């Protein structure tokens, strides 16, 4: 499950991220056009992960914007993912249902139930899925000037993924940050780059933003944003210390204690693998 959104630019609408399935994207488009009475002008893919781009076909009649790197990764990886899911989707769904039935940890069971719902939706989408790539690529900045508001699409490199874009609405002090932000949830650093992620948030902090829309979960404010920055800084400091002291990655991960401010965040069970991953990134 993820967050998408739309902005009324005046002459029409901009969609930020297109959801995991065409079904969800159809609902998004219908809601946006019904609420505003306006047509879609642009769609944006924040990064290459399927839960943010697999609804692209619903917006094939308008320019779809991403970085060149994001477009390249979608082109190289998504068709293979679709083929694999067509082959294994039902078997995987059955195995997750069985795993959920036997799970006793409430947090893990909750995530398994969400995953089961997601897999079911994906399997239904495969019957009519069409690969639809971004059509307009920008590497660092793209500014869209319209009569009602200005939209900035900014990229400072990677972090959560190989290339992460955010949408800034400076007049409204709003940002759609994709998966560069997670509020009340431990950051998904396992497949990301903590150093680049921290740098991207430092750049984003230079803008006067009051409302932050993350790629998943509840909307946050400046305090939530600062906690994300702090989490990255503290994680990097801890892992740097372990690397310099020659502590093995396994010991660094198992001996890690949650930061006080993050003690009640979701996804606690992912933290050891996150620490291991960041440790290995810094060791290289």
pLDDT band at 111 (very low <50, low <70, confident <90, very high): confident
Q: 135 and 252, same structural domain?
A: no
Give the model's pLDDT for residue 1. Answer: 67
In a domain? residue 256: yes
DSSP track, 217-235: SS-B-HHHHHHHHHHHHHH
Residue 276 lies inside a defined structural domain of this protein: yes
Is 102 among the domain residues? yes
The per-residue pLDDT for range 114-162, each reduced to its tens digit, is: 899 989 999 999 989 999 999 999 988 999 999 999 999 999 999 999 9
What distance lies between CA 271 and its chain's CA centroid?
18
Considering the domain architecture, whether residues 91 and 148 belong to the same structural domain is answered as yes
Q: Does the pLDDT of residue 257 top 90, yes or no? A: yes
Residues 13 and 82 in one domain: yes
Inside any domain, residue 90: yes
Provide the whole-model pTM. Answer: 0.92
**Positive or negative, the Cα torsion across 46, 72, 125, 61?**
positive
Residues 273 and 162 in one domain: no
Q: Tell whether 242 and 133 lie within a shared domain.
A: no
Domain assignment present for 165: yes
Question: In which residue are the tokens 């082959």 written?
Answer: 87
96 and 174 inside one domain: yes
176 and 233 inside one domain? no
Q: How many CB atoms lie within 10 A of CB 247?
A: 15
Domain-located, residue 190: no
pLDDT at 188: 87
User: Is 170 within the bounds of a domain?
Assistant: yes
Residues 17 and 126 in one domain: yes
Residue 153 CB coordination number (10 Å): 24
Same domain, 144 and 255: no
Range(s) of the domain holding residue 36: 1-180
Total structural domains within the chain: 2
Residue after which a domain boundary falls, among 145, 180, 215: 180
Q: What is the pLDDT of residues 158-199, one digit of tens each?
A: 999 999 999 999 999 999 999 999 999 999 898 899 999 999
Distance CA(245)–CA(36), nearest Å, equals 58
């Amino acid at each position: 499950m993820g967050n998408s959104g739309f902005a009324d630019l005046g002459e029409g609408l901009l969609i930020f991220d297109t959801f995991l399935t065409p079904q969800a994207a159809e609902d998004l488009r219908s809601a946006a056009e019904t609420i505003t009475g306006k047509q879609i002008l642009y769609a944006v893919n924040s990064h290459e992960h399927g839960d943010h781009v697999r609804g692209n076909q619903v917006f094939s009649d308008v320019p779809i914007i991403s970085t060149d790197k994001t477009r390249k990764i979608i082109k190289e990886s998504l068709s293979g993912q679709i083929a694999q899911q067509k082959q294994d989707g039902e078997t995987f769904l059955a195995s997750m249902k069985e795993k959920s039935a036997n799970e006793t940890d409430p947090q893990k069971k909750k995530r398994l139930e969400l995953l089961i719902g997601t897999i079911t939706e994906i399997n239904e989408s495969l019957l009519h899925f069409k690969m639809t790539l971004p059509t307009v690529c920008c590497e660092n900045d793209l500014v869209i000037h319209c009569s009602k508001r200005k939209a900035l699409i900014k990229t400072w490199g990677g972090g959560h993924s190989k290339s992460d874009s955010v949408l800034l609405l400076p007049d409204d002090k709003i940002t759609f940050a994709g998966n560069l932000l997670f509020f009340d949830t431990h950051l998904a650093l396992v497949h990301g780059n903590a150093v680049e992620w921290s740098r991207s948030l430092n750049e984003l902090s230079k803008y006067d933003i009051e409302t932050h829309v993350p790629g998943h979960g509840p909307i946050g404010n400046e305090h939530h944003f600062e906690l994300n920055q702090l989490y990255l800084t503290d994680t990097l400091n801890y892992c740097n210390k372990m690397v310099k002291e020659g502590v093995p990655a396994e010991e660094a991960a198992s001996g890690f204690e949650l930061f006080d401010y993050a003690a009640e965040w979701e996804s606690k069970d992912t933290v050891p693998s996150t620490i291991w991953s960041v440790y290995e990134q810094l060791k290289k």
